[in-house]
Amino acid sequence: MQTLTLTRPDDWHLHLRDGAAMAAVLPDTARRFARAIVMPNLKPPVTTVALAAAYRDRILAALPAGIDFTPLMTLYLTDNMPPAEVDAVKASGFVHAIKLYPAGATTNSDAGVSDLKKCTATVARMERLGVPLLVHGEVTDPAVDIFDREAVFIDGVLLPLLRDFPALKVVLEHVTTREGIEFVRDGGMNVAGTLTAHHLLLNRNAIFAGGIRPHNYCLPVLKRETHRQALVAAAISGSPKFFLGTDSAPHAQSAKETACGCAGCYTAHAGIELYAEAFEAAGALDRLEGFASFYGADYYGLPRNTEKISLRREALAIPLSLDYLGSDRLVPLRAGESVAWRLE
Ligand code: DOR
Ligand code: ZN
């Protein structure tokens, strides 16, 4: 039997939600990951350090006893976040980044940025203080094909942004295209990217395999196979610019299996195991630890974890659904199938 031992990993992009939903999903992440960058797209969004402090307290209060887990908080950038809020972020010690959602790009992004030019003073302060900007990198123009929105965003928004703020720390989150990989690769060491397990494992055919598959629908949407191969190559390259971010994004079954279903794949139940599958398929299990446990911490200027976890190569059956909100269930990725690795 094959066992894989690695330094306890971190998740550099996670949706925990709030209230009962958060309490339902938090143990899945906390059992695997030592820390996670927690997305601020709540309703209402987490726009101030004070709101982030209160959200952090709610997460810590919901943590099962005996599990060591540190939520790393983020703020939600709006058109009118004052530069002084960036000073408060820097001084807080528990808010680690600010997230850019183009208004209307995805779940709970209505309060996001309508035009990045409105944020010039705030972004300048971020550059000066070294506060990372986490980017949902898609244009929202409905005239742009949904499969092209990342590439168009890079050319139209990110490259000009980095010309104006060359030292700004930018994480292109959930990179889904070859163009996204090249953008990160060709940028300075201030530019990094996270990769999800589902984008490493699936291409866009998975959304339409034998019928429409709402649980494989996320944003940015899965892309064609050539792009998936570019993501895998980056993940296993050993480049410290690419690191793990699950983008695990729970939505109740009723909100996914409906005429206009929500975007998001729930992967926290097998948050590291799915990556082990992807790296094994690429013959690169020896590269998993850097990607999952070292490079993200290094980028954020945080200490690497010291504890270890072990994975055993043995099929883990995934239930059809998980407890979530009363009678409303949560359908995880691979529901009714299995994952090749299990956490010891
Ligand atoms: O699929 C997604 N779900 N993409 C996002 O950007 C947001 C997320 C969510 O919050 O559900
Ligand atoms: Zn996300």
Model confidence pLDDT, tens digit, residues 162-182? 999 999 999 999 999 999 999
Residue 316 lies in a domain: no
Specify the pairing of strand 242-244 against strand 3-7: unpaired
Domain count, the chain: 1
Q: Express as a percent the part of the chain with pLDDT over 70.
A: 100
Which range marks the domain in which residue 84 is found? 9-305
Ligand 2 centroid from CA 2, angstroms: 32
Query: For residue 157, is it within any domain?
Result: yes
For 109-131, write each residue's pLDDT tens digit. Answer: 888 999 999 999 999 999 999 99
| Mean pLDDT of the region 39-54 | 97
The string of pLDDT tens digits covering residues 52-94 is 999 999 999 999 999 999 999 999 999 999 999 999 999 999 9
For the question of whether the overall pTM of this predicted structure is more than 0.95, the answer is yes
Residue 295, in any domain of the structure: yes
Q: Which ligand is closest to the CA of 106, given by its number?
A: 1
Residue 342 falls within a domain, yes or no? no
Name residue 71's amino acid.
Answer: P
Pocket of ligand 1, candidates 42, 107, 222, 248: which has the most ligand atoms within 8 Å of its Cβ, to mutate? 107
273 belongs to a structural domain: yes
Residue with tokens 């163009």: 179
Antiparallel, parallel or unpaired: β 342-343 and 308-312: antiparallel
323 in any annotated domain: no
Would residue 331 count as lying in a domain?
no
pLDDT band of 1, cuts 50, 70, 90: low
Strands (E), 27-77: 35-38, 70-76
Q: Which amino acid is at 20?
A: A
CA 176, chain centre distance (Å): 12
Does residue 141 carry a catalytic annotation? Answer: no
Q: Is the pLDDT reported for residue 231 higher than 70? A: yes
Reported as type and span, the H/E element at residue 68 is none
Considering the candidates 28, 115, 247, 298, report the single residue annotated as catalytic. Answer: 247
Tell me how far the alpha carbon of residue 107 lies from the centroid of ligand 1, in angstroms. 5
75 inside domain: yes
SS3 call for 66: coil
How many angstroms does the Cα of residue 15 sit away from the middle of ligand 1? 8
Residue in 301, 300, 298 with CA at minimum distance from that of residue 290: 298
Which ligand approaches the C-alpha of residue 196 most closely? 2
Side chain identity at residue 296, one-letter code: G
Measured distance CA(41)–CA(319) in Å, rounded: 28
Q: Which CATH number belongs to the domain containing residue 203 in this structure?
A: 3.20.20.140
For the stretch 292-295, contacts whose Cβ atoms lie closer than 8 Å and that sit 24 or more positions apart, written own/partner, are: 292/6, 292/9, 292/10, 292/243, 292/244, 293/6, 293/7, 293/8, 293/9, 293/10, 294/7, 294/240, 295/192, 295/240, 295/241, 295/242, 295/243
- φ, ψ at 153 (rounded to 5°): -65, -40
Q: 237: buried, middle or exposed (CB in 10 Å: 19+, 13-18, 0-12)?
A: middle
Q: What is the pLDDT of residue 246?
A: 98
Cα of 137 vs centre of ligand 2, distance in Å, is 11
Pocket of ligand 1 (CB under 6 A): 15, 41, 106-107, 136, 218-219, 249, 263-264
- pLDDT on residue 109: 85
